[in-house]
Chain A
Amino acid sequence: MKTFTYERARTPAEAAAAAAQDPTARFIAGGTNLLDLMKLEIETPRRLIDVNGLQLDRIEPTQDGGLRIGALVRNTDLAADKRVRKDYAVLSRALLAGASGQLRNKATTAGNLLQRTRCPYFYDTNMPCNKRKPGAGCSAIGGFTRPHAVLGASEACIATHPSDMAVAMRVLDAKVETVHPDGATRSIPIAEFHRLPGNTPHVETALSPGELITAVTLPKPFGGRHAYHKVRDRASYAFALVSVATVIQKDGSGRVALGGVAHKPWRVEAAESAMPRGARAVAEGLLAGAKTTDHNAFKLTLAERTLGAAITQARS
């Protein structure tokens, strides 16, 4: 691990200002992904700004009947929150399907959104990777691509986003609240928060330098049957091959987002009008434009069948 200085931030704006001044600085909260990457020297911050003391660890109702989840709320606490379990069960389910009890106790809401891909070529510092070193090339393309993206990928990167939580937040139309170094705040729709790789796969989110996530807000509950189906190589403690977050209403209408298939949670609102007609009809639009390899073409079939299972369960 490279050496770094360590400091505790006192206010969100102060933390943002400190990070904006120093491009080698990183925020640290749970640290479960960042420290892993620092040990491998994939991340090499020279300055760590500990944001754990910023009191962003509460879940509060919003004025319009939704919930405001502080950036530092731990994954365990968010999944266990009674309001979330009752009104946003897809979010509880997604969180509980991810990582281990130990990791969920540390990992935060904002950190979960900002975690990096688990592409094995990103992790292997002996292999070129456009995320680690822009312009170096992508070792995954032409390599072993079973876990990789089948939607929205580019010639520069075919990595997937590993978060389960973000897939549920996408189906719930969450918004990401941030503070800029000058103290100004903004709210970013989750659909615009994560970026597709394009020619700049190292730029993963809409955040500007120093911008700090302070909360994630959920809209007023909209009912329906909530489910998160995660298909993986073992029954627990593994990343998704494909995951399907659904909220399905009694009349058969509904929403769906996919994980494990793209550089961001994958949702195509226009395809959702086909929900009452079943998974095949939805898949036509949801999976349109997919580009697969021999190793990962199974993800399309898997996504459609998993959605089919979710629809069947919601009707039962």
Chain B
Amino acid sequence: MADQEDLSLSRRDLMAAGAASAAIAGAPAAAQAAPADAPSLAQVRFKVNGQKRALTLDTRTTLLDALREHLKLTGTKKGCDHGQCGACTVIVDGRRINSCLTLAVMHEGDEVTTIEGLGTPDKLHPLQAAFVKHDGYQCGYCTPGQICSAKAVLDEIKAGVPSHVTADLTDDPRLTETELRERMSGNICRCGAYSNIVEAIADVAGGLAKGDRA
């Protein structure tokens, strides 16, 4: 058990060190650039997983890179970096977004929740436990994004937000497999664990509505 903990610590340290050395390697290039191309810096203060954070960042820094490279919260993953895969999904002020398609400096005062804020290895979030139970992944790379997205999906259905497959727009949406699949379509899993992901989410929500599989 102790060995396992050491192993996981050293892996995290290694990743953090890798990010730091990448930042150092990038520095000389920026220094040599013409003044017109010099990075513009800006400050941002926000809460991440309940903790106040203040950063001075190159304005180009996406929220995703701020989380991973500056705050060392590497649970949020960079997949396509273009809003097509959903691996970078985080929850900002209660809503899921692609953290790769938003600038960190645009989040002054916001509350950001990442996978690290949902659960811990000792105290899994119910969705994390359900993904383990239902084998809702293979390689696991898309999983943090899937789980952040799934949490928001359940909140959206509760709040009555309709989807493309909601049959009657004037009714509240039901928790069906079709609804879950449509609402999760912004999260790609290249291992193809989709059916188990749906089962995991449905389990946490207390099961699917009757008469589903339309």
Contacts and interface: CB of A to CB of B under 8 A. Distances in A.
Interface of A: 1-6, 28, 31-32, 35-36, 39, 48, 50, 52, 76, 79-80, 85-86, 89, 92-93, 96-97, 99-103, 105-106, 235-237
Interface residues of B, number: 41
A50 B103 CA distance: 10
A236 B182 contact: yes
B86 A4 contact: no
A79 B39 CA distance: 38
B149 interface: yes
Contact of B83 (A5, A32, A48, A80): A32
A236 B194 CA distance: 14
Contacts of A1: 60
B59 interface: yes
B106 A236 contact: no
A-B pairs, top 3 by smallest CB distance, nearest first, are: A100-B186, A236-B185, A85-B169
Given A50-B106, A106-B101, A237-B186, A96 B149 contact: no
B97 to A, nearest CB: 5
Given A6-B103, A85-B169, A92 B60 contact: no
Interface string B57-90: 0111010000000000000000001110010010
Q: Among A5, A6, A85, find the residue whose CB has the most chain B CB atoms closer than 10 A.
A: A6
Interface string B166-186: 100110000000000111011
B103 A31 contact: yes
A36 B106 contact: no
Interface stretch (B11-19, B157-165, B206-214): B157-165
Nearest to A5: B40
Contacts of A97: 164
Nearest to A85: B169
Contacts of A3: 37-40, 58-60
Given A100-B186, A101-B183, A89 B102 contact: no
Given A39-B81, A80-B161, A237-B186, A6 B40 contact: yes
Contact of A36 (B82, B89, B166, B187): B82
B45 to A, nearest CB: 14
Contact of A103 (B38, B152, B186): B186
B188 to A, nearest CB: 9
Given A32-B83, A92-B162, A105-B97, 5 more contacts: A4-B59, A6-B105, A36-B101, A101-B153, A105-B96
A2 B58 CA distance: 11
Contact of B98 (A79, A80, A106, A237): A106
A126 to B, nearest CB: 17
B156 interface: yes
B62 A35 contact: yes
Given A85-B169, A92-B169, A102-B96, A4 B106 contact: no
